[in-house]
Chains A and B, each alone.
Chain A
Amino acid sequence: MASGDRIDYVFKVVLIGDSAVGKSQILSRFARDEFSLDSKATIGVEFQTRTVLIEHKSVKAQIWDTAGQERYRAVTSAYYRGALGAMLVYDITKRQTFEHIPRWLEELRSHADKNLVIMMIGNKTDLEDDRAVPMEDAKEFAQKEGLFFLETSALQAVNVEMAFLTVLTEIFNIIIKKNLAADSNANNSVPSLEGKKILIPGPAQIIPAKKGMCCT
């Protein structure tokens, strides 16, 4: 990158869920620490990035914020390509958005990579009085499906950071594990933390960002 900042990993994460559950707000809270009361509906897909440090490695999260409306479904499947993580968002004040979660999950599993890290998010905890989805229901569902789960408030900046970091760290750990495995396989020796990174072919492949200047 021209800025000279070293990026060790680039992870693509998609944000999905019904319309108006607060996907874009969660993202702008995470990427820019902003919340705007008059945000516009996402059309198609929009993008934000943020670089975080995980175990002294800089990880750039490229987050694809998709439109939730049904009418976008035909084109959204392509968005999942290459994604390593997914934030599956519902609105705790709208039961229906939670009931649609299995449909989204199905879509994710049919289009995205098998090793996709999925975090289910119940957003709008600031509207506790209007809660329509008990946390227990969601927890139970998450456990059954093997998802991470957190309740957030993009408005009050509760748990948003945590949600993304959880997903990114999990992806990071998976990658490291894979690299180590690949390393030991390749060298037939004791796995060494000093070993160089090796690209894992396949859909889960991470593109290691170029380091420093791009001259050879």
Chain B
Amino acid sequence: MPPSAAEPESPSTAEILRSPSPRDRSSSSRFPNLRGVRWRIDLGILPSSPSSSIEDLRRVTADSRRRYANLRRCLLVGPHFPKDGDKSPDLVMDNPLSQNPDSMWGRFFRNAELERTVDQDLSHHFSDKFDGVPFPEGNVVANSRFTVSTSSASANWVAMNEEDDHGFQGCETKVASLDELDPETKDIVLLGDAYGAEGELGIVLSERFMEHDAFCMFDALMNGSRGVVAMADYYSPSPAMGSVTGLPPVIEASSALYHVLSKVDPHLHSHLVELGVEPQYFALRWLRVLFGREFLLEDLLVIWDEIFASPNGFSIPFGENDRQISFTILTSPRGAFIVGIVVSMILHLRSLLLATENATLCLQRLLNFPENINVEKLIAKAKSLQALALDPSITFASSTVWSFEKSKPSYVRGHSMSSGAISPNTPLNSLPESYWEEKWRSLHEAEELKKGSHSDPLTSRVNGLLSRAESVPSPIKFLSDKKESRASVRRKLLEDLSQEINSKMDSTNKKDSGPSTKDGSSLSVEIDMRKDSVEDLTIESSVVEETGKAASEENSSVFSTATSPLSIANERENEFEKSSVTSKISIDDTNEEACSQTPEPKLCQAPEPHLEATTSTSTSTSTSTIIGGEKHVTGSKEQQRKPLSNRFPWFWKFGRNGDATAEKIGISEGQQRPDKVGNTMRNLGQSMLENIQVVESVFQQESLENLSNNILGSKGQATATAALKELRKISNLLSEM
């Protein structure tokens, strides 16, 4: 067996043992693939310094195990086991019938009672997952639930040791010298070697001392290893030492996470607060068992990897110490990451929560977190939230960002985490306030129109199920109806369509902007495109001032949208952001259409009455994609429509992006007014249908013109035609449902 065969054979083992992104960790920590060792290093049991040798690790390992063995000997007293050999037992006090609580027997009975409680809790807790795994017996002093951490460490250990056994068998027979092995395998061999300092007690990876190692990790996690986050605090009913809030730690941590939530998504926060969903109702469980109930084991291990890997030290610079720290948990990267996980979990359920009108239902959703989530995405988001939470301006009570957000909550919301993977503070900090003022004013009118035009948030509940792939619900859901099957068909169609359109647009862009590449940087391509279009707009004398102004604003908004996702530096995230923007825009387009609908009534002949109001979602998407640019023109200046629509492909894109900003506002406004929404839905459905026809007839007209003056590229035309076809298909499909 070659050295590489030391890799685990079974995929499930590999899954559990390996963190999702080994390349990330290998740079930052040792033994990236040996979870049992890494956790002990992260939790401060083993030395973290990269210079410490395997021998050092062995010594520390042996010491930690000895400590546990001693503890066990002291605490688990047997009645026939005199504690001190030299001290003969005082039979007056130390007898089984003694009422003295300090007697050896009294202690014994107390411990027995405690063990029974722990036993009950354990049997209560480990019903299925950990069958066959021996439980650490030593932690009688520990709270039941946290034994999960030790026991899953144990489970992990068993898996790991199995792996090692395979590895050794292969290595011993074939490999002559350790140096022939790749470093990782060499580590495994050395960590499992019984020879060397401390002998068998020093085998870092040893099944025999699983209980000892598990206890050490459990203990370190509970007491926090002199760091900020000590899980045991979350079981304490009294405020922590030096707590400013004077609240029990778990309550304080709960308010900390609502505090962070209020920064990134004030709307959702106020919704939950208004319903009376107090954070500790769900956070108590999330925090006390460190998400142990919320995720599948394999996901949980990955989340714990990340939590433990975050340093637990006090992160606030000394100069800042004078100021009041409201939330202890936010003062260490680990605590901030835990809060980040919580907030990203809440945001994952955003639309479901917003659609829920009573506290109990909200809590039911929060406490039944979907199992099939994308953990990596959740972690990535939690990391960006961690950075935000560690920001002193958040940790300390007041900040300029906050006051600014307060002044324009509806706008800021649009650019907050809620709208996607956008880094939450980028748009706020990178742009002068005057920009937003201006933007807000210019969008205000459209917003007014849109206020009532959003669908019933209640209906989005079921559709949340469909959007699990996205960590943030896309506003599409707000328009979809209740039937999952229907919606999923629609969604599928949507995805196909948007992919098709995107690829076509990309090719159009490419053609127009020449050497721009397509890889990952399509956003920047779009920026270039929009620059072009703005120039074209202003050059074109027919463009009225209003449109021009909007265009320049739109252009700058493009930059902010483009930069924020990039700041996360994650290609996948980027992609996601892009697609979610696409879908958001479309709805908005339709809404605007619906409001400023049918500029030329003569085109709206023969509306199809059989199309349901609720079918608007998918169809509207395609409609808007097609008419985006056109709408802008028709909306602002009807007379200018024809000359401008010669720029069809550019305007189209331009319109889409411009609406991205408007849309976000629109959505939030819509959510604030769920009551008006029902009627508008119906209208929307109607006007959507009409709009399809408007587009079609306009397009026919234009294509006739284009034939004559041949300005519009055939590609743009083909795109539009294809999109129209898709649109027709969808509307047929919908009307059949």
A residues apposed to B, CB below 8 Å: 1-3, 10, 12, 19-20, 38-41, 43-49, 62, 64, 69, 71-75, 78-79, 82, 207, 210, 213-216
A6 to B361: give the CA distance in the assembly, Å: 16
- Asked if B284 and A43 make an inter-chain contact with CB atoms under 8 angstroms apart, the answer reads yes
Q: How far is the CB of B528 from chain A (nearest CB, A)?
A: 44
A112 to B363: give the CA distance in the assembly, Å: 20
Q: Would you list which residues of chain B between 352 and 370 have a CB under 8 Å from chain A?
A: 355, 357-358, 360-361, 363-364, 367
Q: How far is the CB of A98 from chain B (nearest CB, A)?
A: 17
B306 within 8 A of A: no
- Central interface residue in B282, B358, B367, B676, by most chain A CB within 10 Å: B358
- Asked if B125 and A49 make an inter-chain contact with CB atoms under 8 angstroms apart, the answer reads no
Chain B neighbourhood of A214, CB < 8 A: 357, 456, 458, 674-675, 678
Subset of 5 A-B contacts with CB under 8 Å: A12-B360, A41-B145, A78-B278, A214-B675, A215-B679
A107 to B606: give the CA distance in the assembly, Å: 68
Q: How far is the CB of B146 from chain A (nearest CB, A)?
A: 11
Chain A neighbourhood of B360, CB < 8 A: 12, 47, 49, 62, 64
- Asked if B251 and A75 make an inter-chain contact with CB atoms under 8 angstroms apart, the answer reads yes
Stretch at the interface among B285-293, B538-546, B720-728: B285-293
B461 within 8 A of A: yes
Chain B neighbourhood of A45, CB < 8 A: 281, 284, 363
- Asked if A47 and B125 make an inter-chain contact with CB atoms under 8 angstroms apart, the answer reads no
Chain B neighbourhood of A213, CB < 8 A: 456, 678
B residues apposed to A, CB below 8 Å: 120-121, 124-125, 127-128, 143-145, 235, 237, 248, 250-251, 276, 278, 280-282, 284-285, 288-289, 293, 355, 357-358, 360-361, 363-364, 367, 456, 458-459, 461, 482, 674-679
- Central interface residue in B281, B461, B679, by most chain A CB within 10 Å: B281
- Asked if A38 and B456 make an inter-chain contact with CB atoms under 8 angstroms apart, the answer reads no
- Asked if A1 and B456 make an inter-chain contact with CB atoms under 8 angstroms apart, the answer reads no
Among the listed B144, B235, B284, which residue makes an inter-chain contact with A41, where contact means beta carbons less than 8 Å apart? B144
Chain B neighbourhood of A78, CB < 8 A: 278, 280-281
A44, closest chain B residue (CB)? B284
Chain A neighbourhood of B364, CB < 8 A: 47-49
Chain B neighbourhood of A47, CB < 8 A: 360, 363-364, 367
A65 to B281: give the CA distance in the assembly, Å: 11
- Asked if B125 and A41 make an inter-chain contact with CB atoms under 8 angstroms apart, the answer reads yes
Q: Which 8 A-B pairs give the minimum distances between C-beta atoms?
A: A215-B678, A38-B127, A74-B237, A44-B284, A2-B458, A41-B124, A62-B360, A43-B285
Contacts A214-B678, A215-B456; A43 near B293 (Cβ below 8 A): yes
Contacts A49-B360, A73-B237; A43 near B288 (Cβ below 8 A): yes
A49 to B362: give the CA distance in the assembly, Å: 12
Q: How far is the CB of B122 from chain A (nearest CB, A)?
A: 9
Q: How far is the CB of A73 from chain B (nearest CB, A)?
A: 7
Chain A neighbourhood of B357, CB < 8 A: 210, 214
Q: How far is the CB of B508 from chain A (nearest CB, A)?
A: 40
- Central interface residue in B280, B284, B461, by most chain A CB within 10 Å: B284
- Asked if B677 and A43 make an inter-chain contact with CB atoms under 8 angstroms apart, the answer reads no
A-B contacts besides A44-B284, A62-B360, A75-B284, 16 pairs, CB < 8 Å: A2-B456, A19-B120, A40-B293, A41-B124, A43-B284, A45-B281, A48-B364, A71-B235, A74-B237, A75-B248, A78-B281, A79-B281, A210-B357, A214-B674, A215-B675, A216-B676
B674, closest chain A residue (CB)? A214
Among the listed A2, A40, A41, A43, which residue makes an inter-chain contact with B355, where contact means beta carbons less than 8 Å apart? A2
- Asked if B461 and A2 make an inter-chain contact with CB atoms under 8 angstroms apart, the answer reads yes
A178 to B271: give the CA distance in the assembly, Å: 31
A3 to B461: give the CA distance in the assembly, Å: 10
Q: How far is the CB of A49 from chain B (nearest CB, A)?
A: 7
A73 to B250: give the CA distance in the assembly, Å: 13
Among the listed B143, B280, B458, B482, which residue makes an inter-chain contact with A75, where contact means beta carbons less than 8 Å apart? B280
A10 to B458: give the CA distance in the assembly, Å: 18
Chain A neighbourhood of B678, CB < 8 A: 213-215
- Central interface residue in A43, A73, A79, by most chain B CB within 10 Å: A43
Contacts A10-B358, A71-B235, A216-B675; A44 near B144 (Cβ below 8 A): no
A49 to B237: give the CA distance in the assembly, Å: 29
- Asked if B250 and A75 make an inter-chain contact with CB atoms under 8 angstroms apart, the answer reads yes
Chain A neighbourhood of B143, CB < 8 A: 71
Q: How far is the CB of B477 from chain A (nearest CB, A)?
A: 12
- Asked if B128 and A38 make an inter-chain contact with CB atoms under 8 angstroms apart, the answer reads yes
Chain B neighbourhood of A41, CB < 8 A: 121, 124-125, 144-145
Among the listed A2, A62, A75, which residue makes an inter-chain contact with B459, where contact means beta carbons less than 8 Å apart? A2
A82, closest chain B residue (CB)? B276
A38 to B126: give the CA distance in the assembly, Å: 8
Chain B neighbourhood of A3, CB < 8 A: 482
Chain A neighbourhood of B128, CB < 8 A: 38
A12 to B363: give the CA distance in the assembly, Å: 13
Chain A neighbourhood of B281, CB < 8 A: 44-45, 78-79
- Asked if B278 and A74 make an inter-chain contact with CB atoms under 8 angstroms apart, the answer reads no
- Asked if A1 and B458 make an inter-chain contact with CB atoms under 8 angstroms apart, the answer reads yes
A49 to B365: give the CA distance in the assembly, Å: 12
Chain A neighbourhood of B235, CB < 8 A: 71
Among the listed A73, A79, A215, which residue makes an inter-chain contact with B676, where contact means beta carbons less than 8 Å apart? A215
A20 to B506: give the CA distance in the assembly, Å: 61
A2 to B462: give the CA distance in the assembly, Å: 10
A73 to B289: give the CA distance in the assembly, Å: 17
Q: How far is the CB of A216 from chain B (nearest CB, A)?
A: 5
Chain B neighbourhood of A10, CB < 8 A: 358
A78 to B284: give the CA distance in the assembly, Å: 13
Chain A neighbourhood of B358, CB < 8 A: 10, 62, 207
A20 to B116: give the CA distance in the assembly, Å: 12
Chain A neighbourhood of B280, CB < 8 A: 44, 75, 78
A78 to B363: give the CA distance in the assembly, Å: 14
A215 to B144: give the CA distance in the assembly, Å: 49
A19 to B289: give the CA distance in the assembly, Å: 18
Chain B neighbourhood of A19, CB < 8 A: 120-121
